């Protein structure tokens, strides 16, 4: 009985991990380097739950390399988010 349970766990754990990480968003170092600090922080804020752990580390490392912090961009990100929500709720959906 124990052997069967161990085999089931050895199969189930990697399958669960794969399922959980399959939907993660990743960015290449080139993509990250080409973005502004504001864009990096906006990605971190809006997609944080869906970013792969290595992508989160890469975003944080790039911001650290630039000596920048997302707190410096928080008000702009909040304003952009509010404007996007307003457009989605009340704006013309066919007008970007």
Question: Higher-confidence residue: 18 or 43?
Answer: 43
- Strand, coil or helix: 96: coil
What is the structure's pLDDT at 39?
94
Q: Tens digits of per-residue pLDDT, 28-42?
A: 888 999 999 999 999
The pLDDT of residue 63 is: 96
Dump the DSSP string for 53-78.
HHHHHHHHHHHHHTT--GGGGHHHHH
Displacement of CA 41 from its chain's centroid (Å): 10
Burial profile 41-63: b = 16 or more Cβ within 10 angstroms, e = fewer:
bbbbeeeeeebeeebeebbeebb
Q: pLDDT digit string (tens) for 12-31?
A: 444 444 444 455 778 888 89
pLDDT tens-place string over residues 47-95: 988 888 999 999 999 999 999 999 999 999 999 999 989 988 887 666 5
Cβ atoms of 32 and 59 closer than 8 Å: yes
């Amino acid at each position: 009985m124990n052997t069967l349970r161990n085999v089931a766990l050895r199969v189930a754990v990697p399958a669960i991990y794969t399922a959980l990480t399959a939907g993660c968003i990743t960015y290449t170092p080139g993509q990250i380097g080409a973005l502004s600090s504001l864009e990096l922080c906006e990605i971190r804020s809006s997609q944080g739950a869906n970013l792969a752990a290595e992508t989160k580390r890469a975003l944080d490392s790039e911001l650290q390399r630039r000596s920048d912090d997302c707190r410096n961009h928080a008000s702009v990100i909040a304003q952009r988010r509010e404007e996007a929500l307003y457009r989605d709720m009340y704006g013309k959906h066919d007008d970007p």
